[in-house]
Every structure is written in C-alpha cells, then in structure tokens.
Amino acid sequence: MKRFILSTLAIILFVPFGVIADQGMWLPMLIGKYNIEDMQSKGFKLTAEDVYSINQPSIKDAIVIFGRGCTGELISPEGLLITNHHCGYGVIQSHSSVEHDYLTHGFWAMTRQEELHNPGLTVRFLVRMDDVTERVLSAIPDGAGEQVRDSIVGVVGHKITEEATSDNHYTARVMPMFYGNQYFLFIYEEFLDVRLVGAPPSDIGKFGGDTDNWMWPRHTGDFSLFRIYADKDNNPAAYSPDNVPYTPKRFLPISLKGVNPGDFTMVYGYPGSTQQYASSQAVAHVVDDLNPLNISLRDARLKVMEQHMRQSDTVRIKYASKQAGVANAWKKWIGERNGLIRLDAIEKKQQLEKNFEEWVNESPIRVEEYGHLLNSFDELYATRKPLSIAASLSREAFYAVELLQLVRQFGGLLNNVDNSKLSEEQYSRLIDYTRDFYKNYHKPIDVEIFTTMMSQLSDILPPALTPLALEELKPENSDDWYAIALGVYSQSVFADSTALISMLADSTSSRINVLQNDIMYRLSNQFDSIYSASVYPSLRDINSKLDLLYRTYVKGLMQMNPNAVYYPDANFTLRVTYGKIEGYFPSDGKEYMHQATLDGIAEKSRLDVYDYTVPQRLLDLYETKDYGKWEVNGTIPVTFLASNHTSGGNSGSPVINAEGHLVGVNFDRVWEGTMSDIMFDPDMCRNISIDIRYALFIIDKYASAGHLLEEMTLIE
C-alpha cells in the first residue's frame, strides 16, 4: 500500500504542464522536475537551481519567515529586509506613544544606531527541505489505527529532526503533505536580533484601511523595513549592541523596469493554509454556517471598536492592531462566501464526488478501499457541525471579550495548583502579563463587547454548553445586558489593573480565593470546563477521522485522474507560485486594469472617507510633481495585480520577475478571489502587490532616507 502511494504521487507530479492555469503552491525543491519547463515557457529566464539549491546560494536564501505569520525578503548585502507594513504593524505600534506616534507619522532610522530593537521578533531562513516519506511511512505497520499511526509519525518525525539538528544551531520540523501521503523535513536557521529600520505613516502603509481591504483598485504603500543582525561570525545571536548587520547568502536585486500585462511573475513565500481538497459537506458548512456566524459576530465587535477609536487618539493607537486583525478575517470571510456561491463550489464538489463514486463502483477492489468514503463524510460532517459552531462561538464570541482572554492566562495556573498555592515567581509572571495586557486595553470597549457577546451566547448556546455563571447573570429582559455588564466589570478584580496588581503582589492576601471566586474567573473556568469535556475532545476525534478519510480520498482522486495536476495544500512551508501580470473582470461591464497609481491616491483624498486621509507631504509631492527618478508617464506606479495563487502567510512575499529581480511585495488578494483557499478561479483570483518603485519613491522623496537606497542593487 505504501509503495502505491509513492508511485501514484510520482505519476501525478510528472503530468504534462500544458494544462496548468496560474494555480498551485509548489514545493521549491521539486520545481526542477515538475515546474521549470512550464515556468520557462511562460517567460522565466532562470534555472531551478537559481530558485532552490542546497549546493549554492539561491533565491530561497533571500526569503524568510518574518515573525510568526508573514514572509520577508533580503534586499541588500547588509541584512536589510522588506516586508509588509501590516506584518510589522505590531512592532511599530509597540514603539509608538502619543509623544512618538510612529503609526501616524512613520519612522525612519537615519543611522544604524537609530534602528530599534524588537524583543521577541525573529526571522527564519529555510536551510533545506528533504523528502522523508519513505522513512516515515515504512515505520507504520499495515492496519495500524489512526492513534497508533499518529504516535509512530510523531516518534519518527522527532528522531528525524533530532538527527538534522544534533550538531548545529538549526531547528527542524517534519510536515505532512496530501494529508499524510507524503512527509517533508524542513530545516531552518533562526535569527533573534531583528531591528526596525523604516516604516511609512499609516496613512501610506495602511492607506484605504478597512474601506479598501481585499479590494481593487488599491493604493496602499504596504511595506516596512527591518535589518537582521548577527554576531561577528554572522551567526544568530540574542540582541546585543555588539551585533553587526547580517551578511546574507543571497539578496534580491531590485528592478526599476516595472511591470506590463503578460509579464511573468513568481511569488516565493509561506502561504498559511488552504483546503483545495475539501469535500462538498465541508464547503457547505463554510458557506451556510460558519462564515455567516463569524461575519455577524466580528461585525458587532468592529462597530464598537471603531466608535471608540474615532473619539480618542490614545484609544486609536491602542486598538489599531487589534481592529485591523478583527477586520481582516471579517472581510475575507464575506468575499470567500460570495465567491464560493458564485462558483457553484458546492455543486462542483458534489459532481466530483459523483464521478468518484461511479469510478469506485467499477471495481470491487476500489469499493473495498474507497467505497465507504462519501457516506463517512456525510456522517462525520453532520456530527461535526454543532461542535464546529460551538468552537466558533468560543473563539468569536466568548473569547472576543478581552478580559476573559486575560482571565484565561490565570486559569492555566490556578487550575493546576497543588494545595492551592502559587509560587511568588508565578505571581510575578502574572503581574508582568497583566501589565502588558493593560497597555493596550480600553475598558469601555470591552464592556460593550461583553454586552453583545454574552447576549448572543445566552440566546444561542444550548443548556448543556451554557456556564452556570452565565445563566445566573442572564436578565429577564435582554435589553438589560449592558447594565449586567457594568455590574460585572465593577465587581471583577480583573477589570481594575491597579487592584489586581496590588493584590497579586500582596503575599498576605487571600489571592487564590479572591481570583477563584471572581465572576470573570468563574465564567471562564466553567466555560472551559464544559468545552473541554463536551466539545473539544469530540471535535478532535472527528477531525482525526476526517484526516484519515481525506488521506484516502486524495489518494483515490490521484488514482482516478492520473493526468490531473495536484499540489499539496499550503501549511506555512516555503512555496513557489507563478502567474502573470493581468487585470480582471469582476462583473458584467466592469474591467479592472493591472496598475494603480499615485493619481488614484490624490483622487481618493478628495472623498469624505475616513480611510482616505493622505499625509500633506505626499500631497505636496503630488501637486508639484516632485517625483525624481521614480516618475513613470507623469505619475508614480503604486500597486499592481497578478494571477499568482497566494494565501495568508504570503503577506510580505517577494514578487519576482523573469530575471529574478524584485518588482513588488505581495500584500493582499482581490475580494472576489478570496475563495481561492478552497477553490481557485483563474479568471477572478488576483494577488495585489505594492510596486517596488512606490516603496523606493517613499523612502527617497517622502522620507529623505536615500541612504537606504545606496545599499540596494537597483537594475535600471
């Protein structure tokens, strides 16, 4: 059986590439065998070794995982890195205050000494990836159950990573592909000293805000600059004033030639998660249940946040990153649902499953191996549906309340205390966490969100999943929830930072008793206890069974259609995706061009829209046409569209042209194409990138930070 899996995958990867649309997230170590001819036929002028190599410096050595969820790329031999403004947003916010509001005014280090240290921020380079499928699968005995299989995979994977990192400073992970039909080892080098170098003001870096998020035309200067530092031997090191700029194996030259329709583009980065092989039941659950629920809950939170942020600059700074995070998924879910409905995605999945069933029934051998799959999908998704909705309510309603998020940090300790005692070190950690929490907390916002969410939960949750503490709070009249919320926040010690920290620091007080009897703690503790017993174990069990079904289903699809094109779902491992510069037709009679320019920023600035505020200096440069060498046809190119298949995690990924030069930085997808995580539409799915020439214009003419350009390699 294992040999069949391997040979089937090999067949799939050797398919003719004439059938490929601009779709797919390909493992870079395999493009030499399976993609390079197609890439070159579309204009790419480099070799597979230029893209990925372990024998010589390659483009992969210029790409990093930035932080915990974005991509970045090196653009100078002195460790200078570019990523998205929204990827660096939390870091920029952490350095901001009313006195030094870098979010509003931007930040530019004019010397190396001015570059700002960011505790906890790291970047990781991929050293290499290895196919370890044979080693992992050969260790699994025939007929092994899923729990036994998972255990064996974990043990073998741990041994493989230990061997890969035993004599070096690297880290490693073994990751499954095709639901565990393949396994790959990824080895990383992590750098710990990453400093902020430059960021435009939010009115450039976040221009358009929620109004334009996921939309086109887009005019967002979504970039920020960082520098990687290393020790004197160019190795990773904790922050130290003695560290020096990192010398990369490879950095990306920057093209000033721009982009034109039809030009080849490659996006090289870390897409987060896709579900290309989801069954019809899974897609229906997204369209009919999860997205409508999550959209409505986040919509309520956003309205509360935005109202308070408009009234206070202090609150705006505190909640800027939080609000952006809530809004990002909210709008994506709306576009995703609309796109799946437009594509008739459920019906298409059902047709595929019908074809699969007919193919299975042609052979008794196939019936034995695959005949149970579709009925099992029906049964498991029906059982999973209420559990999945409950889990969504936990994330999007109950723990949308920030104070309950704080309480949860306490619960992890208080629920595991022997003899009802915590050490002073544990109390000290809680005090530190509390101080950090309250730096970016505004109680009136949280009170209103608590009001809305508890009202929703009391109406939606079945009795078996409703905490007694919530039931006791429930008013006779739902209009009284705000009064209930005010009472809860006036009673809870967690809602008073001074009282909470003082109590935690006072060893003579009955600290544990006070915390455990607090209404917020009781709410959180009861909720987690119920979900830990009644929701999460069942959900994990069902998901484990689904993984097994999908592993078998994908194998069957590959056997049924050996000439189709398959690529593994994204799982935040390094991928290559390629396409071309092109616009699209979002609806009848409407055409979107591939490029947006500074003229559009000026046009939007004249509209009475909160998200279209433009810094006066940028308007002055526009009015005087003071563009310098960056002028193109009387304006400045700002963003462009291409047909690369991207996802979350590709934020900050380089957009590379046919010569291997940087032409842009990916930051978004068009709203009509956000369903690409589940179903790709080559006519509608477009990634949005900042034109690198706009970033250079901002650095040079707006920020007067031309010294940064001097360390880059600019290709005229």
What digits encode the pLDDT tens for the residues 256-273? 999 999 999 999 999 999
Q: Is residue 624 part of a domain?
A: yes
394 and 500 part of one domain: yes
Of 44-53, 88-97, 221-230, the least confident: 88-97
Q: Is residue 151 part of a domain?
A: no
Averaged over 126-135, what is the pLDDT?
98
Averaged pLDDT score across all residues of the chain: 92
Residue 500 in tokens: 């909470």
Q: Is residue 595 part of a domain?
A: yes
- pLDDT at residue 164, as a whole number: 97
Task: Say which residue, 187 or 472, is predicted with more confidence.
Answer: 187
Nearest to 316 by CA among 82, 639, 613: 613
489 and 579 part of one domain: no
- pLDDT at residue 324, as a whole number: 82
- pLDDT at residue 1, as a whole number: 32
292 and 262 part of one domain: no
Global pTM value: 0.85
Residue 706's CB is within 10 A of a number of other CB atoms, namely 12
> Is 442 designated active site?
no
d(CA 708, CA 716): 17
417 and 504 part of one domain: yes
> Is 645 designated active site?
no
Q: Is the pLDDT of residue 398 over 70?
A: yes
Please tell me which residue in 22, 58, 85, 86 is annotated as part of the active site: 86
632 and 531 part of one domain: no
Residue pLDDT, tens place only, 618-645 = 999 999 999 999 999 999 999 999 999 9
Q: Is the pLDDT of residue 667 over 80?
A: yes
Q: Is residue 150 part of a domain?
A: no
d(CA 666, CA 469): 46
What percentage of the chain reaches a pLDDT higher than 90? 81
Domain that holds residue 292: 280-538
Q: Is residue 548 part of a domain?
A: no
> Is 651 designated active site?
yes
Residue pLDDT, tens place only, 476-535 = 766 789 999 999 999 999 999 999 999 888 877 788 888 888 999 999 999 999 999 999
Rg (CA), the chain: 27
115 and 241 part of one domain: yes
595 and 685 part of one domain: yes
Q: How far from chain centre, in Å, is Cα 371?
A: 36
Residue 268 in tokens: 């090289």
Q: Is the pLDDT of residue 296 over 80?
A: yes
Q: Is the pLDDT of residue 3 over 60?
A: no
Which of 538, 560, 584 is the endpoint of a domain?
Answer: 538
Judge whether 326 and 309 are in contact, CB under 8 Å. Answer: no
477 and 459 part of one domain: yes
Q: Is residue 184 part of a domain?
A: no
414 and 498 part of one domain: yes
State whether residue 16 is helix, strand or coil: coil
Averaged over 594-617, what is the pLDDT?
95
479 and 601 part of one domain: no
CATH number for position 640:
2.40.10.120
Q: Is residue 550 part of a domain?
A: no
261 and 289 part of one domain: no
Please tell me which residue in 203, 212, 222, 263 is annotated as part of the active site: 222
Q: Is residue 146 part of a domain?
A: no
- pLDDT at residue 8, as a whole number: 37
Strands 116-117 and 123-131, by their bridges, are: unpaired
Work out how many domains the chain is built from and give that number: 2
672 and 532 part of one domain: no
